[in-house]
Structure 1
Amino acid sequence: MPSQPFRRLSATWLAGLLALLPLVLTVGLLVWTGQLLYHYLGPGSVVGSLLSWLGQPFARQPYLEYGLGILLLLLLIYPLGVLVQSSLRRHIDALIDLTLRRIPLIGSLYNLADRFVGLLDQKDGADITAMSPVWCLFSGDGAAVLALLPNPEPVHIDGRPYLAILVPTAPVPIGGGLLYVPSEWVRPAQIGVDKLSSIYVSMGIDAPPDLQAAVKQAQTSRATSAL
């Protein structure tokens, strides 16, 4: 049986390990993210080759070309932001509607990407209500899953309305599964997409609000606004 000094030493060592672990996990996640970005955006990637091509007229060293390409891209994005914020925005949207949105496959992908960016930016006209977090209660009162509702329009299967839900993966909620569940199983979660993401990233440590309390709070807010 371990002696008292050994148990005290072990408890102290474990306390130090638990204090260090969040920092180690944070650094590990940052390193993994950096490696992922370097793989897809670094000098050896397709995007990196394009950035190096932009900087090639001003430098002759590979990494210097890449750095100048990034700088030029950042400078080119600013005038685009000025155009988007000006009255030319509706003309740009009209041009996109006449070109990208009319291409069968590319148009669908662009619409989906535009809706996701609209959620992050919360810009005017973004279809936020169509991309909302929801609770899915299996069998109506069974296991609860916190998911994302991409489209509020139901799909009828054998005469019964079903809704499509996206169930993210933890702790990196950029993948997941697409499920079609009966409409009566779905309840509004009354939280934002950022809260849903933080719950999945924390692997459930960041708990969601109580469903009934959130519904009552939303009803109270609507009643107050009506007055």
Structure 2
Amino acid sequence: MLKKSFQSVLTTWFAGLLVLLPLTLTLILLAWLFGLLNSLVGPSTVIGRLFAALGQPFSSSPSLSYLLGTLVLLAAIYALGLAVQLGLKRPLARMTDVTLRRIPVFNKLYNLAERFVALLDKKEGADIEAMSPVWCFFGGKGVAVLALLPNPEPVEIDGRSYFAVLVPTAPIPVGGGLLYVPIDWVKPANMGIDAFTSIYVSMGINPPRVAAVEADAARE
């Protein structure tokens, strides 16, 4: 009896711990990020003093100068972003080519940093949004798999036409396996990419209601 009571208390305690743990880990991560940013661009760092210098014309208080300088820098970056969106990107690239890229050592460092930023600038869902959801019936009338068609042009393999299809993994549809499937095994899924992603992210909890009916009809 006492053992069962202890197990019940322990189970309840672990249930509360599991609910509290994600919040605790999130706060710890935020505290670590705040400490890292403070050590890199805080008021006592070289960059922080530059921020304070930008804000000194507006305030004599060191803390307020640092805050105002940070806001001025953020506003300047936002204005630069607007200029790039309005067509300034190419002139800036040309100016970089005739200046920074001609410095012997600096050009290699700049090229490396530019490649890294290009990886960060790549939109996560852009590749998926360019694909078309399809049903793949393996064996012609076998297992139905919801997949993506990246290219509507077939590929000739050993005298037979195939479609390259990407079969995603649930619940992360940005990865998966690339398969070459005979074109007569592939049917349009007649759904949007949002519905397709919802099915995979939910691991099948959100069923393809309309699409499943249409696919069955097409298969018959």
Question: Scaled by the length of structure 1, what TM-score is found?
Answer: 0.53
1:216 counterpart SS class: strand
Indicate the residue corresponding to 1:64 in structure 2.
Answer: 64
Instruction: Note the C-alpha offset of 1:53.
Output: 0.4
Instruction: Note the C-alpha offset of 1:81.
Output: 2.1
Alignment partners' CA distance in 1, 2:177 and 2:89: 37
Q: Classify 1:219/1:22 alpha carbon distance in 2 versus 1 (closer, same or farther; 3 Å).
A: farther
Indicate the residue corresponding to 1:216 in structure 2.
Answer: 179
Indicate the residue corresponding to 1:111 in structure 2.
Answer: 111
Instruction: Note the C-alpha offset of 1:215.
Output: 1.1
1:82 aligns with 2:82: yes
1:9 aligns with 2:9: yes
Alignment partners' CA distance in 1, 2:181 and 2:47: 45
Point out the structure with max Rg over C-alpha: 2
Instruction: Note the C-alpha offset of 1:112.
Output: 1.9
Indicate the residue corresponding to 1:43 in structure 2.
Answer: 43
Q: Classify 1:94/1:26 alpha carbon distance in 2 versus 1 (closer, same or farther; 3 Å).
A: same
Instruction: Note the C-alpha offset of 1:13.
Output: 0.7
Instruction: Note the C-alpha offset of 1:109.
Output: 1.9
Instruction: Note the C-alpha offset of 1:80.
Output: 1.8
Alignment partners' CA distance in 2, 1:9 and 1:30: 32
Alignment partners' CA distance in 2, 1:105 and 1:55: 33
Alignment partners' CA distance in 1, 2:121 and 2:99: 23
Instruction: Note the C-alpha offset of 1:210.
Output: 11
Q: Which one-letter code corresponds to 2:41 in the other structure?
A: L
Range 25-34 or range 106-115, more displaced: 106-115
List 4+ stretches of structure 1 deviating above 3 A.
206-211, 217-220
Alignment partners' CA distance in 2, 1:103 and 1:218: 51
1:44 counterpart SS class: coil
Indicate the residue corresponding to 2:212 in structure 1.
Answer: none
2:57 counterpart SS class: helix
Give CA-to-partner distance per residue, 1:187-209, whole Å, 9 cap, x none: xxx8xxxxxxxxxxxxxxx9877
Q: Classify 1:4/1:36 alpha carbon distance in 2 versus 1 (closer, same or farther; 3 Å).
A: same
Indicate the residue corresponding to 1:32 in structure 2.
Answer: 32
Indicate the residue corresponding to 1:200 in structure 2.
Answer: none
Q: Classify 1:15/1:79 alpha carbon distance in 2 versus 1 (closer, same or farther; 3 Å).
A: closer
Aligned length: 142
Q: Classify 1:118/1:219 alpha carbon distance in 2 versus 1 (closer, same or farther; 3 Å).
A: farther
Instruction: Note the C-alpha offset of 1:79.
Output: 3.0
Alignment partners' CA distance in 2, 1:34 and 1:70: 15
**Counterpart mapping for 1:84-103 below 5 A:** 84-103=84-103
Alignment partners' CA distance in 2, 1:86 and 1:41: 30
Indicate the residue corresponding to 1:136 in structure 2.
Answer: none
Alignment partners' CA distance in 1, 2:30 and 2:59: 30
Question: Scaled by the length of structure 2, what TM-score is found?
Answer: 0.55
How large is the Cα RMSD of the aligned pairs? 3.4
Structure 2 alignment gaps of length 5 or more: 128-165, 188-220
Q: Which one-letter code corresponds to 1:107 in the other structure?
A: N
